[in-house]
Amino acid sequence: MQGNSTALIVTSVIVLAVVIIGFIAGRNKASRSSVEEWSLGGRRLGSLFVWFLVGADVYTAYTFLGLTSTAYSGGSIAFFATPYVVLAYPLAYFFLPKIWGIAKKHHFTTLADYVGGRFDSKLLSVLIGITGVLMLIPYIDLQLSGIQDTMEMAGAGFINVPVIVVLSFLLVALYTFFSGIKAPTYTAIIKDILVWIIMLYLVASIPIIHFGSWGHMVDVAMQKSPKMLTIPSGGPKGILWFSSAAFISALALFMWPHTATGVFSSKSGDALRKNAIVLPFYNIVLMLVTFLGITAYLVVPHGTNARLAFLTLIHMSYGGFTQGLAYSTIALASLVPCSIMAIGASNLFANNIYRDMINPNAASAKLTMVTRYMVFVVIGLALILGLLFPTALVSLQLMGVSGIVQIFPAVVFSLYWRNLSKESVLTGFLAGMITVFFVYFTHSAHGLYEGCWGLLVNIAAILVTHPIFGKLAKQRSNPVIESLFGNKRGSKGTDRLTA
């Protein structure tokens, strides 16, 4: 399919303008003065900035392209993403302010920092750090594959797409290295405004262009492909998979290093509570855009690559300028989250692998530089992975959700369970991860989402080993435990930290 020169120009101009804004955002040297400043903005982001930043974390190009491609090839099963984010935010309302308060008091910048401090265990800190980095790299690459797909659609016949992808990787790495969290924070505002305006315009106009109305589009889908509008009652992707995938994805959402970065950047726990209330409004766009995957099934020629279905639908529906606005929105929904993800992964490597394993006495300035330079390593690994295993990325990311949710007990249970022991947490984590890999590679999920099996085994292992190790945990104390539960004399924990 031949690209559109106007669409290519519009896309390139908007993306380059946003990248320049990202560089400008970090012009103050103070933004690079410490890990806390570079990766979390000094924990000074208010409710509105957190809204945009966490929205950029959660609603990415992979979200839009992935869900529409799933709907294009599998129908309504793609709508599992709608309940999963609805489930995630009520949980987040309660535990995010609590962990934010502990992180602020003890200067934690990652969830691995918190777990290591909560249990006095560098082993747990390192394991969670390694897990976060490994699970996140395929996710980063999927975001940048969104740029590749967009430029391939807009610039086919005009540009060398692989070269553009490499340049995109380099630009993301440079502006993240230079500006830290301020780059994606300020550019997320532009990205999210475009998402709301452009995506809602696409949602409103595409069914009218091709069917005359939304109602007629649904009627045609019911007549031609009724199975596209129903969830199978059984099978590998039936209602059981739908429900368990939504539940596990909800628990995993704020376990990802990049979403934790957005959370720890907040200036208060109250800002996080407000965002847990208002962030579900993004689901309006998410649910309606997923419907466009079914529209693509009715409009786009059969045999089209599923991951290009939404982009092909845009190409078939609009002229060059509107195409350019749509493509640039999707490209920015790749670039901005990619930057936040690179920060999250770099933070984990520097703090929980380099510092905890290699150089425990690293000076603050050295740790800051290691964190910043790791951006190039993380994004470089994502590039290599994408070039070597392009067809494995989606599978790796889906397995990443199943893997990252295994840290949920270590993080969330430990906020409320005083006598949870590090031995039980470690046993549960390892048992859960082994189960995930076993179920995934043996295809023995029996209709459940793989991560669900892992989490069930994880929790079971914790409960079975608790009678053995619970007494040891009861005798232990440290500043983090005292902040959460008070000291052994029975004084109350510092709940005011969540204010």
User: Which of the four pLDDT bands, split at 50, 70 and 90, describes residue 495?
Assistant: very low
Looking at residue 395, its pLDDT comes to: 64
Looking at residue 213, its pLDDT comes to: 94
Asked if 177 and 190 count as a contact pair (C-beta separation under 8 A), the reply is: no
Half-sphere exposure of 221 (CA within 13 A, CB side): 26
Phi, psi of 296, rounded to the nearest 5 degrees: -60, -40
b (16+ CB within 10 A) / e for 285-315: bbbbbbbbbbbbbbbbeeebebbbbbbbbbb
| 232-262 tens-digit pLDDT | 888 888 899 999 999 999 999 999 999 999 9
Q: What is the rounded distance in angstroms from the CA atom of residue 115 to the CA atom of residue 398?
A: 24
User: Which of the four pLDDT bands, split at 50, 70 and 90, describes residue 328?
Assistant: very high
Looking at residue 393, its pLDDT comes to: 55
Can you give the pTM of this predicted structure? 0.91
Looking at residue 396, its pLDDT comes to: 67
Phi, psi of 370, rounded to the nearest 5 degrees: -60, -45
Looking at residue 286, its pLDDT comes to: 86
**Which two structure tokens, joined as six digits, stand for 293?**
């995957």
**By C-alpha distance, which of 316, 294, 280, 262 is closest to 70?**
294
As a whole number, mean pLDDT of residues 472-479 equals 94
- 44: Cβ contacts below 8 Å, ≥ 6 apart: 265, 267
Q: How far is CA 138 from CA 123, 352, 399, 430, in A?
A: 24, 20, 10, 21
As a whole number, mean pLDDT of residues 318-330 equals 94
User: Which of the four pLDDT bands, split at 50, 70 and 90, describes residue 140?
Assistant: confident
Q: Is 490's pLDDT higher than 80?
A: no
**Which two structure tokens, joined as six digits, stand for 400?**
């990443």
b (16+ CB within 10 A) / e for 166-189: eebbebbbbbbbbbbbbbbbbbbb
As a whole number, mean pLDDT of residues 268-289 equals 89
As a whole number, mean pLDDT of residues 278-289 equals 86
Looking at residue 232, its pLDDT comes to: 86
Give the max Cα distance, the chain: 73
User: Which of the four pLDDT bands, split at 50, 70 and 90, describes residue 497?
Assistant: very low
Where do the domains of the chain lie?
5-393
Looking at residue 67, its pLDDT comes to: 86
As a whole number, mean pLDDT of residues 478-492 equals 80
| Fold classification of 5-393 (topology level) | Sodium/glucose cotransporter (1.20.1730)
| 357-396 tens-digit pLDDT | 889 888 888 999 999 999 999 988 888 877 777 666 566 6
Q: What is the rounded distance in angstroms from the CA atom of residue 24 to the CA atom of residue 16?
A: 12
pLDDT above 90 as % of the chain: 56
Looking at residue 394, its pLDDT comes to: 60
| 412-437 tens-digit pLDDT | 999 999 999 999 999 999 999 999 99
Q: Is 458's pLDDT higher than 90?
A: yes
**Which two structure tokens, joined as six digits, stand for 113?**
């920092």
Identify the three-state secondary structure at position 125. Answer: helix
**By C-alpha distance, which of 293, 363, 221 is closest to 77?**
293
Q: Is 94's pLDDT higher than 90?
A: yes
As a whole number, mean pLDDT of residues 57-63 equals 78
pLDDT above 70 as % of the chain: 95
Output the average pLDDT for the chain.
Answer: 89
Q: How far is CA 99 from CA 278, 366, 497, in A?
A: 20, 27, 9
**By C-alpha distance, which of 31, 52, 54, 37 is closest to 179?**
31
Looking at residue 499, its pLDDT comes to: 42
Half-sphere exposure of 70 (CA within 13 A, CB side): 21
Q: What is the rounded distance in angstroms from the CA atom of residue 24 to the CA atom of residue 54?
A: 21
Q: Is 96's pLDDT higher than 60?
A: yes
| 257-276 tens-digit pLDDT | 999 999 999 999 999 999 99
User: Which of the four pLDDT bands, split at 50, 70 and 90, describes residue 496?
Assistant: very low
